[in-house]
Amino acid sequence: MGFPSPPSPEKAPATTLLGKYELGRRLGSGSFAKVHVARSIETNELVAVKIIDKKKTADAGMEPRIIREIEAMRRLHHHPNILKIHEVMATKTKIYLVMELAAGGELFTKLHRSGRLHESSARSYFQQLASALTFCHREGIAHRDVKPQNLLLDKQGNLKVSDFGLSALPEHRSNTGLLHTSCGTPAYTAPEVIAQKSYDGGKADSWSCGVFLFVILAGYVPFEDSNVVTMYRKIQRRDYKFPSWISKPVRSIIYKLLDPNPETRMSIEDVTETKWFKKGQETVKFQSSVFERDDRLGKMRSDTITAFDLISLSAGLDLSGLFERRKRKETRFTAKVSAERVVEKAKTVGEKLGYRVEKKKEARVVGMGKGRVMVMVEAVELVEGLVVAEMKVVEGEEEEEESYWSELILEFEEIVLSWHSDVCVKVESDLA
C-alpha cells in the first residue's frame, strides 16, 4: 500500500491593502516609511505604495513636509514629467500614498553605472526637467531640491520629477513674492538660499539645474568638497573647470546658470529658448488628470495628507552623508561679525582657554591645540553680509574632544547668528 502524495504547496495569499491593492515586493525603506510595488485589484495597474508610520513621522516633526509634498503633487499632476499621485488613504497608525510606479528607478543610479551621459542623452533629460520646472514655476511652485536622486525614470526611460517635500507653494511667499527658508542639498543649492536671505525660488531652481546639467555631462559636481566652507568659497568665486568633452554651447548655458548673482542668472525659461536646448526637442503635451477635482483626494482633510519623499535609498552626491558619518566633533555657524573678526575671536578664545594658537597660512584659518586635541576654525564671507564659519576637531581622542568641545561652543556664542550641526542648512519651515 503506497503512501498518499503530499499536498501541493499553496501560494501564500497576497496582502491586500484596504481591499483595493495587492501589495508585492518591497522596493525599499527609510526611517519613516517603506515602499512596495502593488497591483490595483480594480484596474490591474501596477503602482507604488508608500506606507508611512504616523507616529514616527509625528515624532520627527515631519508633518509640514508631508503637507507640502502632497499639495505640490496634487497641483502639478497634469505634467507628464512629474510623478503622479493616484490616491491617499489612511488608518489610525498608517498613511498610504498610492502613486505612479517609476520602474526605471533613480536617474542617479543610471549615472552611477555609466559615469556620465552623452550630450544628446543629457539634453533629452534636461529638456524634460526644464519642461517640468517651467510648469511648476507657472503654477507658483519652486522645487528647491533638484538633484539626480530626486529624478526618477519610468519603464520607457522618461524623466519623473519627485520629492516635493522642500518645495515652496504660492502661499509660502512673502508680499514681495520672495522666499526665506534655507534648505536643500549644499552641492546643488544656490548661494542666496544658503545665505538665508529673501530669494526668488525660480532662480534658485535655475542654479540647481546648472549643477545638474554639469553633473550628468561631467560625472561629478562642480563645487564638491568635503570641507563645506571651502565649497562655499568655490561657489562664491565660480571656481570650477569644465571637462574637455563638454561643448561650448553647453558651457555657455551652464556658466550663465551658475551665476552667483541671481539678478543676472539665466532663468530656466530663458534656457528653453536657446538653440542648443531646442535641438531634437519634442513638444511636451500635458496629459489629462488621473483623477477628477471632486474626487477623494480633493475632499481630503488636512489630517490625512501624506508623502514627504518617494524614496532615496542612496546618499548619492549629497555631501551631508559624509559629515554625518564623521566621528570627530564639528559644527558650522553663521556669524554676526566679519570673517576677520571670527578669526580674531578664535585666537582670543584659544588663548583664554589655554590652547596653543597657530595662525595658518590659509587666510582666515586658526588652529588651536590642547593636549592631544587640535581644533581648526575657518571663516569665509559667502556673500556680502553673510559669514559662514566651520569649527572642527582634526586630532584627538574622543574623551578629550567631549571635555573641550562644550567650553569652545560657549565662548563663541556671542558672535554666532545661528548654529548648523550638519551640512544641509535648515531653518524653521515655511509651514511651521
CATH superfamily, region 105-287: Transferase(Phosphotransferase) domain 1 (1.10.510.10)
Give the amino acid at 222.
P
Taking the C-alpha atoms of residue 92 and residue 32, their distance in angstroms, rounded to an integer, is 16
Say which residues have a Cβ less than 8 Å from residue 149's Cβ, sequence separation at least 6.
106, 108, 163, 312, 314, 316, 317, 318
pLDDT value, residue 119: 95
What single string gives the DSSP state of each residue in 6-68?
PPPPPPPPPEEETTTEEEEEEEEE-SSEEEEEEEETTT--EEEEEEEEHHHHHHTT-HHHHHH
Q: Which residue has the higher pLDDT, 13 or 129?
A: 129
345 is in an annotated binding site: no
Taking the C-alpha atoms of residue 17 and residue 9, their distance in angstroms, rounded to an integer, is 24
CATH superfamily, region 15-100: Phosphorylase Kinase; domain 1 (3.30.200.20)
Percentage of the chain beyond pLDDT 90 is 35
The domain limits of the chain are: 15-100, 105-287, 325-420
pLDDT digits (tens, 9 = 90+) for 62-100: 777 777 887 888 888 889 999 998 887 777 788 788 999
Number of residues in the chain? 432
CA distances in angstroms from 137 to 76, 82, 132, 206, 415, listed in the order given: 10, 13, 9, 11, 38
pLDDT digits (tens, 9 = 90+) for 199-231: 999 999 999 999 999 999 999 999 877 777 788
Q: How many Å separate Cα 421 from the centre of its chain?
A: 17
145 is catalytic: yes
pLDDT at 319 over 50: no
Host H or E run for residue 131: helix 119-138
Cβ density class 159-173: b for 16+ within 10 Å, e for less: bbbbbbbbbbbeebb
- Other CB atoms within 10 Å distance of the CB of residue 5: 6
Q: What is the pTM of this model?
A: 0.65
Two domains, one topology: 105-287 and 325-420: no
pLDDT value, residue 430: 32
**Per the residue annotation, which of 53, 59, 145, 270 is the catalytic one?**
145
Query: Mean pLDDT score of the chain, rounded to an integer?
Result: 78
pLDDT at 295 over 50: no
CATH topology of domain 325-420: TATA-Binding Protein (3.30.310)
- Other CB atoms within 10 Å distance of the CB of residue 268: 25
pLDDT value, residue 399: 59
